[in-house]
Structures are given as C-alpha cells and as structure tokens.
Structure 1
C-alpha cells in the first residue's frame, strides 16, 4: 500500500531533567499565526469569493453559502450586535445544533469580539437535562440566546433569561434572524480592528465527567495558533482546500473549533451532515457522503465501523468516498484494528492511494490539538508528537507511565469565573495538568510519538493495594466484548476484584436474536452471559496480575441518565455519578449468588 506523499513530519527534541521529568518540543518553529479568525474569512472572500464555504441539506439538494455571501452576512450580524451595545462582556448562548445560521451567527459575533457559548442540543430538548442548562445560564449570564427553531427550543429560550433570536421564531417573541441579516455593517471595521489574539471568541464547556462543567475561555490566539500548527503537521491542508462532510457537534471543541476552523482557515468547504452514527440517522450520513466526495473524513470509531460495513456493500459509495480522500481522522476513542485494516483494504481496492489514517490528542483546554500523529502507522493508539509551539512535560512513574502536562500559545489560560479550578489546573512552571497518561511508543526514539494510556484521575486501588488503570482497561474491554456492549464502567475501588457494569448495545443484541430479562435495574440473559463469560475467561488467562484481570460483570437495564448527571452532553459517562447512583447494582455485581452477576 502507498500513502499519499503530502506529509512533512518534524522531529522532536527530548530533554531529560535530573528529577526524571521529560520535556518534549518540536524542532520546527511555529509559523505565522492570524490575528483572529475573521482574517481568514476576509482573505477567502477576496481570493475565492464564489467558493462554497458552508452547505446544509435543503430538500434533495443543498443550501449553499459562498465565502463572499458568508462574509457579507456575518458583517451584517456583527453590525446588529454592535447596535445592541454588545461586546466582550455580553456572550451569546447558542442552543441548537450545527446549521448555516448557527455558523453565520458565530462568525458575526467573533468578527467584533462577542463571545459565543454553544451548548448541547440535549440541554433543551431533554426536559430532564434542563438543570444542566440552568447551570450554564447561571455561569455565563448570556446577553442573548439563539436557536434555529423557536418552537422546538422554546423551553431553552425561556430559561436563558435574556432576549432571544431565532431563525423561525414561532410564538416565542424572539427577534427573527432575518432582522440581523438586514442590518447595516456600520462600525464593524473599527470593532474588527480591536479583535486581537487575547480576545475571547468562545466559552466552551468541559465534559463534566468528573465535576460540574467548567467554562474554558477560548481566545482567538488559541484557535488561530492551532490551525497553523495543524497545517504545519499536515501540509496537504494548504495544498488543496479541504472538503468535509461532518456531523460532529459544534458545542464540542473537535467539531466546532478543530474541524470548522480547519475548513475556514484553508478556504475549504464544510457540508453539514444532518445524519449521525445512530440507527435512525446513519442512512442520512451515507446519502450525504454519496453526494459529496470529501478530502478529509472525521468521525468517532463507531461511526467508521458503521461506514466500513456500508462501503463493503456499496460499490458506488466506496468509489465516491475514496475518490479525493487525503485523510481519515478518528477521535474520541481508539479505532479498532479490524476497522483500520478494513478501511485501508477498501481504499486499495479502488486503485487509489491509501489515505493517511490518524488521530491527535488534546482537550477543550488545548484548543484542541496538542499532539499529532502526522505519519502513517500500522494501527490505532498512537497520538503522536508535540505540534510546533507546544511543550509537553512528562512526569513518569516507576513503570514509565507519564502524567502529561502542556504549555504553549494554544493552551487555555483560565476558566470562566473559577479562580480555584484555574489554580488547580496548572503546576508551578505554568504547565496545564491534563490528567491524562501517556507512554512512549519507543523510549529510545521520541520521534515515534506517544501512546494514550488512560486518565490518571480514573485510576483506583483494589483492597490489596494494587492500582488499576481503569481508563486503559475500559478500552481493552470495549474491544473484547464488542459488539454487545455500548459502554463500560470499571469497578473495584476498595474491593478485591475488578468488575464491569455494562451498558448493552441493544441493536447488536437484537440482531443476534439474544433475549434479555429485566431484574431491578439489571439484565439477565443466560445466552449473552455465556458469550461474555467465555471472552472474559479467555482474557483473564492472559492477565499478569490482578490489575488487569476482570472476574465479573453485570448488564445494566437502563442507560446512563443525562438528567441525573450520569452522562454528559458529549456522551461521556460520569463514572463517579453512575457508581454512586447505582451503588445497589455494584453490590449485586459482587454477590456471586445474584442471578444477574456474570462471574468467571
């Protein structure tokens, strides 16, 4: 297989300190960084005014906005914000998901220094999650709130406690979005000139998987630096404008900053995918991919697994998907090896080059990319080397598992109105403490990069004193028990054995025609228990100690509840909350006489 020759990997300098700490930096200096994201919009509106920038489905075709039309509308929106007296201290809360109007509102706000705060649609659409929305409103105190569909988001617009804007206001009394588009751009040039690198562009909410969500003050410098870094690591992004068909939500840093700004900074085209890797919506994604061949494909591993199945059975879709593809980029979890190999084999079958399959590593606080795997590898798990301008500090334990800390111009400086959490987030040298762990692919060659090795904050001790690396073990178990599990919570804190609470993948279980009965919050299925027991038993024979030996499992009958804080808007389980609320089920898991407990 041959990969496309569009890579320019940089080497890494390693400093070994006397205290055992390791510091990594890229040898390539950071390139030129734009003053703000509006500079990109201005540039492409002049250079390629008729190029499609944004598109969303409208009937059988697409509604399209060129760079010229997007800039004109963004400036009108910016003028409206100025006319309302808005600025750096008057954020706009955005309730609805990805759309052209959402994008235009964001571009207009950022153009004149008005911060935007996109939140998950579920906060409004799921009544049980309204408490989360109330928390965000009290934290950011928005001056305006926006949703595309006023009727559908009426509850959220009311709870925001500020004047509303809606594309379709309905009976809400919200200002029609069309009024913003009709406004003049008087005063916009002067305001734009004041938007500099330190201007806050967004307030992005952390996942809230370990505590209440924190507001990350995302500056223009963080966003523009990150795109320069990515383009230096992946120069093909500047050799031809990227085209992506993408569903990843803009309230998340990956979809809303990484992907959106990759298109904007490179003069590319973003086709907003109104599908998702869910049974009822994935057909729409396949339809959209068949209509628009992309140059970069972003998704989570479960999305790529579903796509692989479709590509194997649809020759026309396979030809369209791989026709112009430079890169397949996964995030959110490790890509299963069978999915990785399958995608490479299908690409080769088309007779075209095999795209780079890769990932990066970062957090909301890091804008997000801090490490990037910029050269081909044989499989998933490697997250790469520091991007130019990023310094990575590794604090190893006796087993060379490293606590990862980072610094650089793309790294957050503070949380919104939370000095205590801000102080906790940085060490005495000013490095952001990520809470993630890494290992070297090869301790003798830092250029081969780092591998993700779990979340240090999720580690726990068995009653024997043995440390369990729960995050890493969870990934192993997800692969081992696929496709019957949707997610897993590793248990064992203060006990003598490791167990699993399993969130079942009901679609896969029904497809396999496996029956399950419900028993007080747990599921009982002799057939499924036999399958899981056999796999766990085989894996346990490979374990070198109690830190990796799973001896029991229990299947949950109810999925994690967002309203109760068991799952975040980004889909991450709040492990501590779930274990606390379902303590009775944890006790049942460790009761060998309980019919729901699967033991080996």
Structure 2
C-alpha cells in the first residue's frame, strides 16, 4: 500500500506511477518569472488542431461508427438507446424544425428540465445551425420559491422557445407570465393550460432546404450556449460560450490524456447539464471521442443514491466522474460488497472528481479496492476551471497518489499567478477556451479581465513544491471569501475551511467560516442529516451536548497545532436547518453560497458571538 503520509508527495506519486494501468503523459510545465514577482505558467505540450464546431463530432462518428451507442436513458423498465447514426439524423431533423421557424443566431432556446436524450438532441440541433441554448437548473422550474431565478433569466434572454422533458412535472412553471408567447416544446405532453409542441414533431420533421448552408455558416466564434453562473455573490451572469471554447477544450484534454483516444470512452453520469462540468466537460468528452453516455437519473443524495448506484452497476463505464460526497457514498458500498467492487471498477481508466477536494481517506479506500480488483490503478485525477473557461484549464494527468492537487496548465492555457506574502497566489487565466464576455453585460465583462487579457478568476492556489512546477498546484479557496478580523488580520477562509472539515470529519456535513470585522474566527456547522430534532433544537440551533462536546474536542485539537488568531476557531454553533435551495443557500454547482447564508441567518451569526447563548460551543 502507499506511504501513509499524504504530504510525502514524491513517495506517493512514485508508488501510484508504478501501479497505474492507464497510459499517460508526464506533467510538463514551462515557467516565466517577472520582475514584479508575477509567475507565468504554460504547458510544455503544444495545442493540437481542433474541430470547427460540435456538429463535426456528430458527422465523424455517424460516419465511422454509425451503429455504436451514443446516448441512452431510462425508459420504463428498459433504456431508450440512440446510436450515432440516429443521433445525427434526429439532430438534423430537429435543426430543420428550428430553421422552419426562422430561428437563428439572434434567438435562443431555454432548457428548463434536467439531463435527458431529448435535451441533448435539442441542444445539439440548435448548435448545429447556430442557435444558442440556455440550460438552466431544473430546480428553478420545479421549486416555486426558486421561480425568481427562472424569471430573472427569462427576462434577460427573452427566448423564442423553451423545453421541458415532462410537461406535467413542470406545469407550474409553464404558465409563468414571462413564458407567454414563447413556444413550449415538451418531451411528454399534458394538459397544463397552454399550447405545447411535442418533441416528437421535431424528431420527424422534414429536412430544411437551407440546412446545409446554415450548418456551414457555424464556426468557432459562433455562440453555442449561454451558461448562467450560480450567482453566489450577485445576480447570475450569462457566460457566452462559443464553439471554439467547447471544441478546443476537448482537444486540450485529448493532448495529455492519450487513453481517451485508445478506445471509445463509456460514461454513466448524473452531473447536471446546466453546469459546465456535466454539460460541457463530460457530455462533450463522450461526443469528441465517439463514446457512449448513459444518463444517470439518480444523484448522490439520500433519495437518489440507490438509483445512481443501480445505473452505474448496470453500465459501469471506463470513465467515472463525481463530486467528493458521491465518491464517499460509493466507497462505503464498495467496502461492503465485494462483487460490486469488481463490477464497478474492472474497466475504469479514470476516476475524476471536481467541485471540492476529495477527502484523503476516501481516495485511499478507492485505491485499496482498485488494487484488490485489478492489481493496479486507473488514473485518479482532478482539475480546475470555471464556467467562463469551458471549463478545464488546469488538470492532473499523471499519477500523483494523493488528493487535493488540481494539476498543471493544459496545452494552450497560460496562467498568471500573483503571490502574496504567504506564497499563496491569485490565479488568472488566458487561452482559447476562455469566454469572450458576459451576455449583455459590458460592465461586468470589462471588470472580468486585466490589462493583459487574463480572466480574473478570484481563486487562489499554492504550489505543491515551489521548486518543481511539474508537481502541480493546490486549490486554496476564493480570494473573495477571505475577510479581515477587527484587528486587520486576514483570514484565508477557503484554506481554513478545508482544515476544519478534515478535523471534523464524520461530525459535520459542511461548515462556514465566520468573523468578518469580529474579534475572533467562528464557525457555522451544518450537521449530518437527521441530527436536528424537536427535542435538541432551540431557535434554529442544535443544543445536543454530546455533539457539542465532540466538536469542541476536535476543534481544540485543531487549534493546538496553529498560531495566530486567523487560524484559530474559538467558537461554533450548530445550525438546525440544512442549507436551503429555496433560500439560494446552495449554488447550482452544489456548493455553499456563503454570502447568502450569512445574510439569511444574521440572527444566528449574532448568537455565535454571544458568549451567554446556550447553543454556543466555546473553544
């Protein structure tokens, strides 16, 4: 088994490299140091050619592998299967229906429901003839309290068309005033108080005489999507996503991940398509390499995990994508079920996580299971990027043997690192996968780029080894989430949060670092589901003495190894209410909306700094 100390990077990396079964390239980084201390990093590998538009992928695989399964979804007791030949045929007929309505680059289609075959066909059809799509989080339409987000986007983009997979399920949203006069397309129609166009009409539409010319006019600069950010600190911003961004990003990853081209990848995935990780990174990885995508209708939640596990068990795949909580749930099941271990792991070339750092103990458990099943490891990797970067900019593509590393720049990407006194670096990025700007928002667009054209991400990183760039970078939180105590001392909230989560593993679901303009750093604690009960909850806080004592003990152990007020947690309070989707306390990416939590729970923030409050944990 690997060296037991995760921080012993070289030993763990060498151990992993000796056991990795997946074909890989070594990290290769070029560094430039400027007189002002700024560091520029570039890939040592060149950027390969990339296709003109997403439609080129469809034509290639419909020609080379017409009967290969492209995409599938659950359909009653079985699956609805679409081959590459079928996919191209459906896309061209649906694109013809759009042209018959006179739609073009000045129009857009809002997609209000989640992942599905019809969703994919309509998106690719719109891109095929240069009509941008706007994929939205399905909770905007399903949860009445979240309709404000939906109406904000509808008012912003003024769509010609909207789509849902099931009219009955989305009935309340379909009659919103903002959708009057908008053609509503539905995969399954129902009586909902307005006219609907069946998606089946699009799939059987006659080919339009202008189809070939419309497709030929689509190029790298054509707008493919408007992807709205989660709006964690302000109103959602519409990211202009071009065909170049989507196509070049797949070429960048193909250049350093040779196994993607060794055999068609197979993916079973739940990650939402309104988010860039699921909708651009994963879906396009399948399309670019002629792979197969099984749409997973489950999620790594209490209700959805059984479904996602059943789907992955039926179609394990060669590439696995998930968020850390999803891998933690899978690791638990792998530990319990030897047969399941073999079915899920036997063909994996890649285990990829994003969204947050994967706990090292989960990483280690998956490694042990892989060694048992295959006698070796797949590539175990992570990446970093944003909606504005299509998304991948930095990626792990060699064995590293530990969690928490986001990797090195991809070919064609240039990083600007601006160090502070603690050798933490603000990271900015420039490259062909970076957006041209925000939709109808010139002021925000201008503020998003520095004088050299680097996108200002607001994120921070550190070097794994400042003397060896090939060891990669570690994500170190959001610069915008940092704050000052009343003494003027800066608190690096993102880094501190990761340390706290590691210390409180098993006792908490998540935490929020508090203390802006206060004298001490405090903690909002979200406990595991089911912790808060009527008997142990008072005015929105959990008063369980046993849990409070365990958290206090762990925090004291954490504090024992640090100096300085910016790294010491002196108080905490356990919140009874979990993060609220309706209250916008969770972003579309599934991360916590820190500003909204602190604002919405201002009374609890005051109680956190009230030394007489009975719910307070004083450390």
**In 1: Cα distance, 2:79 partner to 2:562 partner:** 53
Uncovered stretches (5+) of structure 1, i.e. residues with no partner:
none
User: Which residue, out of 366, 387, 409, partners 1:364?
Assistant: 387
TM-score, normalised on structure 2? 0.94
1:385 aligns to what?
Answer: 408
Q: Deviations over 1:29-48 (max 9, x none)?
A: 10011000100000000100
User: Which residue, out of 545, 548, 560, partners 1:529?
Assistant: 548
Contact 2:61-2:84 within 8 A present in 1 as well: yes
Contact 1:30-1:228 within 8 A present in 2 as well: yes
User: Which residue, out of 492, 495, 501, partners 1:469?
Assistant: 492
1:174 aligns to what?
Answer: 196
- Residue 60 of structure 2 corresponds to residue 43 of structure 1: yes
2:9 aligns to what?
Answer: none
Give the match's secondary structure for 2:567: coil
CA shift for structure 1 position 554 = 0.8
Contact 1:7-1:375 within 8 A present in 2 as well: yes
Give the match's secondary structure for 1:436: strand
Contact 1:233-1:372 within 8 A present in 2 as well: no
477-486 vs 462-471, which moves further: 477-486
Structure 1 216/189 Cα, relative in aligned 2: closer, same or farther at 3 Å? same
Uncovered stretches (5+) of structure 2, i.e. residues with no partner:
1-15
Give the match's secondary structure for 2:58: helix
**In 1: Cα distance, 2:158 partner to 2:527 partner:** 39
Q: Trace 1:13-92 onto structure 2 (pairs within 5 A).
A: 13-92=30-109
**In 2: Cα distance, 1:233 partner to 1:408 partner:** 16
CA shift for structure 1 position 5 = 4.3
Q: Trace 1:212-251 onto structure 2 (pairs within 5 A).
A: 212-251=235-274
**In 2: Cα distance, 1:238 partner to 1:562 partner:** 39
Give the match's secondary structure for 2:564: coil
1:287 aligns to what?
Answer: 310
Contact 1:384-1:451 within 8 A present in 2 as well: yes
Q: Deviations over 1:389-426 (max 9, x none)?
A: 00000111122111100001000110001111101100
1:557 aligns to what?
Answer: 576
User: Which residue, out of 207, 216, 222, partners 1:185?
Assistant: 207
**In 2: Cα distance, 1:560 partner to 1:322 partner:** 33
Q: Trace 1:191-210 onto structure 2 (pairs within 5 A).
A: 191-210=214-233
Give the match's secondary structure for 1:346: helix
CA shift for structure 1 position 479 = 2.4
Give the match's secondary structure for 2:604: helix
CA shift for structure 1 position 156 = 2.2
State the aligned residue count. 596
2:608 aligns to what?
Answer: 589
Contact 2:355-2:589 within 8 A present in 1 as well: no
1:454 aligns to what?
Answer: 477
CA shift for structure 1 position 59 = 3.0
- Residue 183 of structure 2 corresponds to residue 163 of structure 1: yes
Give the match's secondary structure for 2:267: strand
Contact 1:22-1:393 within 8 A present in 2 as well: yes
TM-score, normalised on structure 1? 0.97
**In 2: Cα distance, 1:297 partner to 1:44 partner:** 22
CA shift for structure 1 position 516 = 5.6
**In 1: Cα distance, 2:535 partner to 2:396 partner:** 42
Contact 1:462-1:493 within 8 A present in 2 as well: yes
**In 1: Cα distance, 2:49 partner to 2:161 partner:** 34
- Residue 457 of structure 2 corresponds to residue 438 of structure 1: no
**In 2: Cα distance, 1:70 partner to 1:194 partner:** 21
Contact 1:515-1:527 within 8 A present in 2 as well: no
323-332 vs 288-297, which moves further: 288-297
**In 2: Cα distance, 1:8 partner to 1:185 partner:** 44
Give the match's secondary structure for 1:506: coil
CA shift for structure 1 position 482 = 2.4
Contact 2:22-2:377 within 8 A present in 1 as well: no
- Residue 337 of structure 2 corresponds to residue 325 of structure 1: no
